[in-house]
Structure 1
Amino acid sequence: MLLLVTPSPQPSSTSTSVLPDPDKVISDVAVTCQNDPVCSTLAGMLSNAWWAPLVSSAVVVVLIVLFAFVLRNVAHRVITRVVNRAATGGSITSRFRKGAATDGIDALLHERRKQRAETMGSVLKHVASVVILGTAVLTVLDRLTIPIAPLLTSVGILGVAIGFGAQELVKDFIAGMFMLLEDQYGVGDVIDAGPAVGTVEAVTLRVTRLRDADGRVWYVRNGTITRVGNESQGWSRAFMDVPVAYDADVVGVKVLLEHVAEEIWADPELRESKIVEPPQVFGVEQLSDSSLVFRISAKTLPSAQAEVARELRLRVKTALDTAGIPMVATA
């Protein structure tokens, strides 16, 4: 008799799925999150799911980015508040008389302080943004287990190379920073910058743009300016030397010039818009074998000295002609 033996069916490896061992998953998550309080907390909330570390990393990255932007906004607000406070300064009317002329000086100084403070505020905001956001990017890369040591090394080498190649540019920027901090000059000032003399039209951290009396525009790098003569800062002075004959009446000439000074001070147009103090007669400034030189001087608003000096010459010449006192030529 022939017996047929049917083999028992074997379990197919493709027909059943192998489920992950829960104990192994819990062990792996515990090892991954052992030094991370955020990951440990999320692992407990998600029942030790295998994707808990991924969620933890994403949450931490989002928190770092949010904190960086919040810190950046706070820094910008603080800088803006400091800039607004620096832009408003005390009045200088206590040094001079109170009036329209000193009001004009205060307005000019306020505008200069405002421009300087806004420029410095802009620089500080950019520096704060670069530092805060750069630190956040490095922290995120470190959180994502991306090695940042090679990146920092490359950036350091690149910075050294740029520093050597752009020494003049760095020098210009540093000189521009100190120029703004010390308020050496501003837009509208007439300055002598060495290479060029003229009115300042624009000031940046790298260059200063001047326009001279002929209308020529000069671009002077801040790093090349070794000394600056500012003719328009705070106040200016107009003066006139009056040469008269050696045998002239010294007392009479001085009294005559004092009357001219009083007339100029009494002129409402000059007093309210150009002169900040009563003109002074200094007496005999020079002696020679042919003439006596008297000097009359007036403190004026910045850049108004030329107009006041012309008015002084006109009134002094008229007064001398009326009194019959001739002026003599000086050598």
Structure 2
Amino acid sequence: MIISSANSTSDVNLVEDVSNWWDDPTTREWLIDKPISIAVTILVALIAHWVFRKLITKAVERGANRAVEPEKSKRPSLIKTPFGKTATQEEETPLDVQLLRRSQEQRRQARIRTLGAVGKSAVAIFVWTWAALAILTTIGVNVAPLIASAGVAGVALGFGAQSLVKDFLSGIFMLIEDQYGVGDTIDVGDGIVGDVEDISLRITTLRDMDGTVWYIRNGEILRVGNFSDEYAIARFEVPVGLSNDTETAWSVIEKSFQEAAKLPTVKDSIIGEPEMKGISSFEPDHMTFRGVVKTLPGYQWEVQRHVYAKVLTDMQREGITTPYPNGIGSISPKQLEAKRSGEKA
């Protein structure tokens, strides 16, 4: 009986201890209130992150899919009606203007998507930084000294990591000023020319014509040459030997230039009329004829390749020679035949 009474007393004490522990406000706070608060904070952060990303995605898609201008425009005409009033007629937009608009539209879409990606990153940093501070506050950590320390650390980081801050600031201004975007062909100096594959606030990724991927810090880009902004100009420099008749060579090259611009392989890339500039330089052994034509951005090299092939073929057919057609120091077949005839004589 004594043992049974002792066991009952022990059980009662254990139940009271557990009940007291459970009724303790600190226990309820750490096992129920704070975990629920932390879970709610994380849930709110997840929902906010998802909502902001959806809003940015929808805004990007809406902006990217919005047409800039219609293909046709109604402009007042100077044609008079029988009643003496000015008529309004619908005019077709020229093909070169349509091509230029299409190129600008592609660039605009690429810029919008780049800004959207940066906006999503900024939203993620903002939302989860808030969530982390809210969780620290919930578990009893005083975040005021932490924020103050972060400010001091930010100042120290600004002095100690100036290049990093410079990269971020350069990336921000680059995006705001629309210096270049994903898909553009740019020259960043030191012979690095390539297509932009990715842009972040710190690094620009380029792939050059040999397939090499270049990772360039935005703060190190001091100048940028953009080959994909609005339009490009294909320039042709054709060297012609001084033994040729100038007017004949001019006529052959100009005609070939005009015909090459109508080739099916390049006509859709050209947005202007070819223009023959004439002789651009005069050297002791040759003269150079120059021609230019406006093309879609990034297509100037393709147009150059096809036009050069056409011009060279027509020059050879018409007998227009280049300087040193047989190589420097060698003689032509006619001169060689004349030399052999003289030796036989």
TM range (shorter): 0.5 to 0.7
Structure 2 residue aligned with 1:235:
231
Give the one of 61, 64, 67 matched to 1:87: 64
SS in 2 for 1:267: coil
Q: Deviations over 1:141-179 (max 9, x none)?
A: 779987543233233233333333332222212222222
Judged with a 3 Å threshold, the aligned counterparts in structure 2 of structure 1 residues 318 and 71 are, in CA distance, closer, same or farther, namely closer
Shift of 1:62: 9.5
| Gaps in structure 1 of 5+ consecutive residues | 1-50
Judged with a 3 Å threshold, the aligned counterparts in structure 2 of structure 1 residues 324 and 59 are, in CA distance, closer, same or farther, namely closer
Judged with a 3 Å threshold, the aligned counterparts in structure 2 of structure 1 residues 308 and 101 are, in CA distance, closer, same or farther, namely farther
**Amino acid in structure 1 at the alignment position of 2:99:** T
Give the one of 264, 276, 280 matched to 1:268: 264
1:286-297 paired onto structure 2 within 5 Å: 286-287=281-282, 292-297=287-292
Shift of 1:287: 4.5
SS in 2 for 1:263: helix
Structure 2 residue aligned with 1:98:
95
Q: Which moves more between the two structures, 155-164 or 57-66?
A: 57-66
1:175 aligns with 2:175: no
Shift of 1:256: 3.0
Judged with a 3 Å threshold, the aligned counterparts in structure 2 of structure 1 residues 132 and 221 are, in CA distance, closer, same or farther, namely closer
| Gaps in structure 2 of 5+ consecutive residues | 1-24, 73-92, 325-345
SS in 2 for 1:310: helix
Judged with a 3 Å threshold, the aligned counterparts in structure 2 of structure 1 residues 171 and 268 are, in CA distance, closer, same or farther, namely same
Shift of 1:136: 6.8
Structure having the higher strand fraction is 2
* Conserved 8 A contact 1:241-1:295: yes
SS in 2 for 1:315: helix
* Conserved 8 A contact 2:185-2:196: no
Structure 2 residue aligned with 1:29:
none
Structure 1 residue aligned with 2:245:
248
Judged with a 3 Å threshold, the aligned counterparts in structure 2 of structure 1 residues 328 and 58 are, in CA distance, closer, same or farther, namely closer
Structure 1 residue aligned with 2:77:
none
Judged with a 3 Å threshold, the aligned counterparts in structure 2 of structure 1 residues 167 and 86 are, in CA distance, closer, same or farther, namely farther
SS in 1 for 2:189: coil
Q: How far apart, CA to CA, are the structure 2 residues paired with 1:317 and 1:59? A: 79
Judged with a 3 Å threshold, the aligned counterparts in structure 2 of structure 1 residues 172 and 279 are, in CA distance, closer, same or farther, namely same
* Conserved 8 A contact 1:101-1:271: no
SS in 1 for 2:236: strand
**Amino acid in structure 1 at the alignment position of 2:204:** T
Q: Percent identity?
A: 34
* Conserved 8 A contact 2:279-2:288: yes
Structure 2 residue aligned with 1:149:
144
Q: How far apart, CA to CA, are the structure 1 residues paired with 2:133 and 2:212? A: 49
Q: How far apart, CA to CA, are the structure 1 residues paired with 2:294 and 2:70? A: 14
Structure 2 residue aligned with 1:13:
none
Q: How far apart, CA to CA, are the structure 2 residues paired with 1:145 and 1:290? A: 86
Judged with a 3 Å threshold, the aligned counterparts in structure 2 of structure 1 residues 279 and 132 are, in CA distance, closer, same or farther, namely same
**Amino acid in structure 2 at the alignment position of 1:98:** L
Judged with a 3 Å threshold, the aligned counterparts in structure 2 of structure 1 residues 174 and 93 are, in CA distance, closer, same or farther, namely farther
* Conserved 8 A contact 1:97-1:277: no
1:209 aligns with 2:186: no
SS in 2 for 1:277: coil
Structure 2 residue aligned with 1:218:
214
Shift of 1:289: 6.8
Task: Tell me the matched-pair count.
Answer: 280
RMSD between aligned alpha carbons?
4.7
**Amino acid in structure 1 at the alignment position of 2:303:** V
Judged with a 3 Å threshold, the aligned counterparts in structure 2 of structure 1 residues 57 and 320 are, in CA distance, closer, same or farther, namely closer
Structure 1 residue aligned with 2:156:
161
Whose Rg is larger? 1
1:283 aligns with 2:278: yes
TM-score (norm 1): 0.62
Shift of 1:223: 0.9
Structure 1 residue aligned with 2:87:
none
**Amino acid in structure 2 at the alignment position of 1:230:** N
Q: How far apart, CA to CA, are the structure 2 residues paired with 1:133 and 1:141? A: 12
